[in-house]
Protein backbone atom coordinates (compact mmCIF):
# COMPACT_ATOMS: atom_id res chain seq x y z
CA UNK A 1 0.00 0.00 0.00
CA UNK A 2 2.88 2.39 -0.77
CA UNK A 3 0.57 4.62 -2.78
CA UNK A 4 -1.27 5.47 0.43
CA UNK A 5 1.72 7.31 1.93
CA UNK A 6 2.01 11.06 1.31
CA UNK A 7 4.40 11.86 -1.55
CA UNK A 8 7.15 13.38 0.69
CA UNK A 9 7.41 10.05 2.55
CA UNK A 10 7.43 7.73 -0.48
CA UNK A 11 11.15 7.88 -1.33
CA UNK A 12 12.09 7.01 2.26
CA UNK A 13 9.47 4.25 2.42
CA UNK A 14 10.79 2.63 -0.78
CA UNK A 15 14.37 2.72 0.49
CA UNK A 16 13.41 1.15 3.83
CA UNK A 17 11.27 -1.51 2.14
CA UNK A 18 14.16 -2.47 -0.13
CA UNK A 19 16.51 -2.83 2.85
CA UNK A 20 13.97 -4.99 4.70
CA UNK A 21 13.39 -7.17 1.64
CA UNK A 22 17.12 -7.94 1.49
CA UNK A 23 17.16 -9.18 5.11
CA UNK A 24 13.59 -9.84 6.32
CA UNK A 25 14.70 -11.61 9.50
CA UNK A 26 16.07 -8.28 10.79
CA UNK A 27 13.03 -6.29 9.66
CA UNK A 28 10.60 -4.89 12.23
CA UNK A 29 7.29 -3.77 10.73
CA UNK A 30 5.56 -0.72 12.17
CA UNK A 31 2.47 1.31 11.32
CA UNK A 32 3.18 4.78 10.03
CA UNK A 33 5.44 6.89 7.87
CA UNK A 34 9.16 7.30 8.55
CA UNK A 35 9.57 9.48 11.61
CA UNK A 36 6.51 8.11 13.47
CA UNK A 37 6.72 7.22 17.15
CA UNK A 38 6.51 3.54 16.17
CA UNK A 39 9.57 4.03 13.91
CA UNK A 40 11.49 5.37 16.90
CA UNK A 41 10.19 2.55 19.12
CA UNK A 42 11.36 -0.08 16.62
CA UNK A 43 14.89 1.30 16.66
CA UNK A 44 15.02 1.59 20.45
CA UNK A 45 13.41 -1.77 21.23
CA UNK A 46 15.44 -3.67 18.61
CA UNK A 47 18.74 -1.84 18.00
CA UNK A 48 20.21 -2.73 14.63
CA UNK A 49 16.85 -3.73 13.16
CA UNK A 50 15.59 -2.71 9.73
CA UNK A 51 12.41 -0.67 10.34
CA UNK A 52 9.71 -1.47 7.78
CA UNK A 53 7.01 1.22 7.41
CA UNK A 54 3.46 -0.05 6.81
CA UNK A 55 0.37 2.03 6.13
CA UNK A 56 -1.94 0.33 8.67
CA UNK A 57 -1.72 -1.94 11.70
CA UNK A 58 -3.15 -4.74 9.56
CA UNK A 59 -0.37 -4.23 6.99
CA UNK A 60 2.30 -4.42 9.71
CA UNK A 61 0.87 -7.68 11.05
CA UNK A 62 0.54 -9.10 7.53
CA UNK A 63 4.21 -8.31 6.87
CA UNK A 64 5.15 -10.70 9.69
CA UNK A 65 2.65 -13.36 8.62
CA UNK A 66 3.95 -13.18 5.03
CA UNK A 67 7.59 -13.41 6.09
CA UNK A 68 8.51 -9.90 4.92
CA UNK A 69 9.44 -9.01 8.51
CA UNK A 70 10.62 -11.08 11.43
CA UNK A 71 8.66 -9.00 13.94
CA UNK A 72 6.20 -6.14 14.22
CA UNK A 73 6.01 -3.47 16.91
CA UNK A 74 2.53 -2.17 17.71
CA UNK A 75 1.36 0.45 20.24
CA UNK A 76 -1.23 -1.10 22.50
CA UNK A 77 -2.01 1.53 25.13
CA UNK A 78 -1.15 5.02 26.28
CA UNK A 79 -0.98 6.28 29.85
CA UNK A 80 -3.07 9.34 29.02
CA UNK A 81 -5.44 8.23 26.26
CA UNK A 82 -6.01 4.54 27.05
CA UNK A 83 -5.92 1.61 24.66
CA UNK A 84 -5.24 2.04 20.98
CA UNK A 85 -8.43 1.54 18.97
CA UNK A 86 -8.95 -1.88 17.35
CA UNK A 87 -5.75 -3.40 18.73
CA UNK A 88 -7.61 -5.80 21.03
CA UNK A 89 -9.44 -7.15 17.98
CA UNK A 90 -6.40 -7.28 15.71
CA UNK A 91 -4.00 -9.09 18.03
CA UNK A 92 -6.07 -12.27 18.55
CA UNK A 93 -7.13 -12.34 14.90
CA UNK A 94 -3.55 -11.99 13.64
CA UNK A 95 -2.42 -15.42 14.82
CA UNK A 96 0.87 -13.85 15.93
CA UNK A 97 2.40 -14.12 19.38
CA UNK A 98 3.51 -11.34 21.72
CA UNK A 99 7.24 -11.85 22.34
CA UNK A 100 8.16 -8.58 24.06
CA UNK A 101 7.00 -5.21 25.36
CA UNK A 102 8.56 -1.76 25.27
CA UNK A 103 7.60 1.42 27.11
CA UNK A 104 8.48 4.74 25.45
CA UNK A 105 7.91 8.31 26.68
CA UNK A 106 5.93 10.26 24.07
CA UNK A 107 6.39 13.91 23.23
CA UNK A 108 4.65 15.78 20.42
CA UNK A 109 5.40 19.02 18.59
CA UNK A 110 3.16 21.34 16.61
CA UNK A 111 4.79 21.88 13.20
CA UNK A 112 3.91 23.67 9.98
CA UNK A 113 5.21 25.45 6.90
CA UNK A 114 6.09 29.14 7.39
CA UNK A 115 4.37 31.85 5.38
CA UNK A 116 6.33 33.63 2.64
CA UNK A 117 7.34 36.31 5.17
CA UNK A 118 8.68 33.61 7.52
CA UNK A 119 5.92 33.92 10.14
CA UNK A 120 4.01 30.94 11.53
CA UNK A 121 0.26 30.64 12.08
CA UNK A 122 -2.46 31.19 12.99
CA UNK A 123 -3.62 27.64 12.30
CA UNK A 124 -7.13 26.54 11.44
CA UNK A 125 -6.58 22.78 11.72
CA UNK A 126 -3.99 20.27 12.91
CA UNK A 127 -3.64 16.76 11.53
CA UNK A 128 -2.38 13.78 13.50
CA UNK A 129 -3.15 10.23 14.56
CA UNK A 130 -6.27 10.08 16.81
CA UNK A 131 -4.11 9.01 19.77
CA UNK A 132 -1.87 12.07 19.44
CA UNK A 133 -4.89 14.34 18.99
CA UNK A 134 -6.42 12.90 22.16
CA UNK A 135 -3.15 13.39 24.03
CA UNK A 136 -3.08 17.06 22.92
CA UNK A 137 -6.79 17.79 23.26
CA UNK A 138 -6.51 20.66 25.76
CA UNK A 139 -3.63 22.29 23.87
CA UNK A 140 -5.66 22.36 20.65
CA UNK A 141 -8.86 23.49 22.33
CA UNK A 142 -7.16 26.41 24.08
CA UNK A 143 -5.83 27.66 20.74
CA UNK A 144 -9.00 27.12 18.74
CA UNK A 145 -7.31 24.63 16.41
CA UNK A 146 -9.61 21.97 14.93
CA UNK A 147 -8.17 18.42 15.23
CA UNK A 148 -8.36 16.26 12.09
CA UNK A 149 -7.44 12.58 12.03
CA UNK A 150 -4.68 11.10 9.91
CA UNK A 151 -3.36 7.54 9.63
CA UNK A 152 -0.23 8.35 11.65
CA UNK A 153 1.68 11.23 13.19
CA UNK A 154 4.61 11.38 10.79
CA UNK A 155 2.27 10.84 7.85
CA UNK A 156 0.36 13.90 9.02
CA UNK A 157 3.59 15.91 8.89
CA UNK A 158 4.32 14.60 5.38
CA UNK A 159 0.76 15.48 4.34
CA UNK A 160 1.11 19.06 5.65
CA UNK A 161 4.39 19.41 3.74
CA UNK A 162 2.69 18.10 0.59
CA UNK A 163 -0.36 20.33 1.04
CA UNK A 164 1.73 23.50 1.22
CA UNK A 165 -0.86 25.47 3.21
CA UNK A 166 0.65 27.56 6.08
CA UNK A 167 -2.71 27.59 7.88
CA UNK A 168 -2.55 23.80 8.34
CA UNK A 169 -0.36 22.22 11.03
CA UNK A 170 0.57 18.73 12.18
CA UNK A 171 1.16 17.21 15.59
CA UNK A 172 4.04 14.78 15.26
CA UNK A 173 7.43 13.75 16.68
CA UNK A 174 10.23 16.31 16.29
CA UNK A 175 12.03 13.92 13.93
CA UNK A 176 9.17 14.29 11.42
CA UNK A 177 9.80 18.03 11.10
CA UNK A 178 13.40 17.36 10.09
CA UNK A 179 12.40 14.64 7.61
CA UNK A 180 9.67 16.64 5.89
CA UNK A 181 11.03 20.18 6.04
CA UNK A 182 8.55 21.65 8.52
CA UNK A 183 9.21 24.25 11.21
CA UNK A 184 8.57 23.51 14.88
CA UNK A 185 5.97 25.95 16.19
CA UNK A 186 5.85 24.61 19.74
CA UNK A 187 7.42 21.62 21.50
CA UNK A 188 5.85 19.30 24.07
CA UNK A 189 2.24 20.02 23.18
CA UNK A 190 0.97 16.87 24.89
CA UNK A 191 -1.34 17.71 27.79
CA UNK A 192 0.50 15.45 30.28
CA UNK A 193 4.28 15.39 30.39
CA UNK A 194 4.39 11.89 31.87
CA UNK A 195 2.91 10.62 28.60
CA UNK A 196 3.95 6.97 28.03
CA UNK A 197 3.00 4.43 25.37
CA UNK A 198 3.32 0.68 25.75
CA UNK A 199 4.30 -1.20 22.61
CA UNK A 200 4.25 -4.96 22.08
CA UNK A 201 6.55 -6.92 19.79
CA UNK A 202 4.91 -9.68 17.75
CA UNK A 203 6.34 -12.66 15.89
CA UNK A 204 5.06 -15.77 14.15
CA UNK A 205 6.30 -18.13 16.89
CA UNK A 206 5.76 -17.63 20.63
CA UNK A 207 8.57 -17.69 23.15
CA UNK A 208 8.92 -20.91 25.11
CA UNK A 209 7.97 -19.91 28.69
CA UNK A 210 10.83 -22.12 29.94
CA UNK A 211 13.30 -19.64 28.41
CA UNK A 212 11.96 -16.98 30.79
CA UNK A 213 12.88 -18.91 33.95
CA UNK A 214 14.55 -16.68 36.53
CA UNK A 215 13.20 -13.49 34.91
CA UNK A 216 10.06 -11.49 35.61
CA UNK A 217 7.65 -12.42 32.83
CA UNK A 218 4.28 -11.23 31.61
CA UNK A 219 1.57 -13.34 30.01
CA UNK A 220 -1.21 -11.87 27.89
CA UNK A 221 -4.42 -13.71 27.03
CA UNK A 222 -8.00 -13.18 25.90
CA UNK A 223 -10.99 -15.11 27.16
CA UNK A 224 -14.77 -15.29 26.95
CA UNK A 225 -16.63 -16.54 30.02
CA UNK A 226 -19.68 -18.76 29.93
CA UNK A 227 -23.00 -16.93 29.89
CA UNK A 228 -24.01 -17.80 33.45
CA UNK A 229 -24.41 -15.67 36.62
CA UNK A 230 -21.16 -14.67 38.36
CA UNK A 231 -19.07 -16.34 35.64
CA UNK A 232 -16.44 -13.59 35.62
CA UNK A 233 -16.25 -13.54 39.43
CA UNK A 234 -15.66 -17.29 39.49
CA UNK A 235 -13.17 -17.14 36.65
CA UNK A 236 -11.09 -14.52 38.46
CA UNK A 237 -11.09 -16.43 41.75
CA UNK A 238 -8.24 -18.70 40.70
CA UNK A 239 -5.85 -15.78 40.32
CA UNK A 240 -6.61 -14.53 43.84
CA UNK A 241 -6.35 -17.94 45.52
CA UNK A 242 -3.07 -18.71 43.73
CA UNK A 243 -1.51 -15.31 44.41
CA UNK A 244 -1.21 -14.32 40.75
CA UNK A 245 -1.05 -10.57 40.08
CA UNK A 246 -3.35 -9.47 37.24
CA UNK A 247 -2.15 -6.07 36.03
CA UNK A 248 -4.78 -5.45 33.34
CA UNK A 249 -8.33 -6.59 32.66
CA UNK A 250 -10.36 -4.94 29.90
CA UNK A 251 -13.58 -5.93 28.18
CA UNK A 252 -14.72 -5.43 24.62
CA UNK A 253 -17.68 -6.61 22.58
CA UNK A 254 -17.46 -9.28 19.89
CA UNK A 255 -19.80 -8.62 16.98
CA UNK A 256 -22.88 -6.41 16.95
CA UNK A 257 -25.18 -8.52 19.11
CA UNK A 258 -23.73 -7.29 22.47
CA UNK A 259 -24.30 -10.86 23.67
CA UNK A 260 -20.67 -11.94 23.94
CA UNK A 261 -18.04 -10.04 25.91
CA UNK A 262 -14.36 -10.85 25.45
CA UNK A 263 -11.79 -9.92 28.09
CA UNK A 264 -8.16 -8.99 27.55
CA UNK A 265 -5.79 -9.61 30.47
CA UNK A 266 -2.14 -9.30 31.51
CA UNK A 267 -0.69 -11.23 34.44
CA UNK A 268 2.76 -11.32 35.98
CA UNK A 269 4.31 -14.75 35.42
CA UNK A 270 4.26 -17.44 32.77
CA UNK A 271 2.98 -21.00 32.28
CA UNK A 272 5.25 -23.53 33.93
CA UNK A 273 4.91 -21.77 37.28
CA UNK A 274 2.54 -24.03 39.27
CA UNK A 275 0.52 -21.05 40.56
CA UNK A 276 0.06 -19.70 37.01
CA UNK A 277 -0.88 -23.13 35.69
CA UNK A 278 -3.51 -23.62 38.40
CA UNK A 279 -4.99 -20.15 37.85
CA UNK A 280 -5.22 -20.63 34.07
CA UNK A 281 -6.72 -24.10 34.51
CA UNK A 282 -9.44 -22.70 36.76
CA UNK A 283 -10.03 -19.83 34.32
CA UNK A 284 -10.40 -22.27 31.42
CA UNK A 285 -13.05 -24.23 33.36
CA UNK A 286 -15.30 -21.16 33.45
CA UNK A 287 -14.60 -20.06 29.85
CA UNK A 288 -16.09 -20.70 26.46
CA UNK A 289 -12.75 -19.66 24.96
CA UNK A 290 -9.27 -18.95 26.32
CA UNK A 291 -6.35 -18.00 24.10
CA UNK A 292 -2.86 -17.12 25.31
CA UNK A 293 -1.33 -14.43 23.12
CA UNK A 294 2.18 -14.84 24.51
CA UNK A 295 4.56 -14.88 27.45
CA UNK A 296 7.50 -12.47 27.38
CA UNK A 297 10.03 -10.58 29.49
CA UNK A 298 8.57 -7.73 31.52
CA UNK A 299 9.65 -4.40 30.06
CA UNK A 300 8.84 -2.32 33.12
CA UNK A 301 7.97 -3.19 36.74
CA UNK A 302 4.26 -2.97 37.63
CA UNK A 303 3.02 -1.44 40.84
Helical spans, DSSP H, in 23-118: 37-45, 57-65, 87-94
Question: What is the pLDDT at residue 227?
Answer: 82
**Segments in 113-165 forming alpha helices (H):** 130-135, 137-142, 153-163
Instruction: Give the pLDDT of residue 4.
Output: 78
91 and 140 share one domain = no
Q: How far, in Å, CA of 81 to CA of 170, rounded?
A: 19
Q: List, as own/partner pairs, every contact residues 253-262 make where C-beta atoms lie below 8 angstroms and the sequence separation is at least 24, other chains included.
A: 254/224, 259/227, 260/224, 260/227, 261/224, 261/225, 262/88, 262/222, 262/223, 262/224, 262/289
Query: Is the predicted pLDDT of residue 252 greater than 90, yes or no?
Result: no
Residues 167-203 pLDDT 10s: 999 999 999 999 999 999 999 999 988 889 999 999 9
pLDDT computed for residue 260 by the predictor:
67
Residue 297 lies in a domain: no
Residue 170 in domain: yes
- Per-residue pLDDT, 2: 47
Cα 128-48-87 angle, rounded to 5 deg: 40
| CATH code of the domain containing 179 | 3.40.190.10
For residue range 66-89, what is the model confidence (pLDDT) as tens digits?
999 999 999 999 887 778 867 778
Give the mean pLDDT of 259-284.
93
Statement to judge: residues 40 and 81 lie in one domain:
yes
CA 258 to each of CA 49, 79, 93, 227: distance values in angstroms, whole numbers, following the listed order: 42, 28, 19, 12
Do the domain assignments include residue 130? Answer: yes
Model pLDDT for residues 131-167, shown as the tens digit of each residue = 899 999 999 999 999 999 998 899 999 999 999 999 9
In 3D, which of 131, 98, 51 has the Cα closest to residue 199? Answer: 98
Q: Is pTM beyond 0.85 here?
A: yes
Q: Are 113 and 58 in the same domain?
A: no
From the candidates 199, 223, 239, 263, give the one annotated as an active-site residue: 199
* Catalytic residue flag (residue 183): no
Pick the catalytic residue from 153, 197, 219, 262. 197
Domain assignment present for residue 173? The answer is: yes
Q: At what angle do helices 7-22 and 153-163 cross, to 10 degrees?
A: 140
| Any domain includes 300 | no
Q: Which domain holds residue 180?
A: 109-187
Question: How many domains in the chain?
Answer: 3
Query: What does the pLDDT read at residue 257?
Result: 61
Nearest to 101 by CA among 262, 220, 251: 220
Question: So what's the pLDDT on residue 228?
Answer: 84
Query: pLDDT-derived band of residue 1, with 50, 70 and 90 as boundaries?
Result: very low
Total residue length of the chain:
303
- Terminal alpha carbon distance of the chain: 41
38-73 confidence digits (pLDDT tens): 999 999 999 999 999 999 999 999 999 999 999 999
Residues 180, 175: Cα–Cα separation, whole Å: 9
261 catalytic? Reply is no
Amino acid sequence: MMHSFPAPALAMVKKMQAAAAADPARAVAFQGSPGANSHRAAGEAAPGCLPLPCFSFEDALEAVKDGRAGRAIIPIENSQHGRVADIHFLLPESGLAIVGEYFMPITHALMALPKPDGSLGPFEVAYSHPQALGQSRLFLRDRGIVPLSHADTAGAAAYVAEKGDPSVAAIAPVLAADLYGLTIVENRVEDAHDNMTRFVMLARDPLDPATLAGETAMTTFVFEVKNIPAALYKAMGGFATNGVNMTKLESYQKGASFAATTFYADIIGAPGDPAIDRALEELAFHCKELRILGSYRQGRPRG
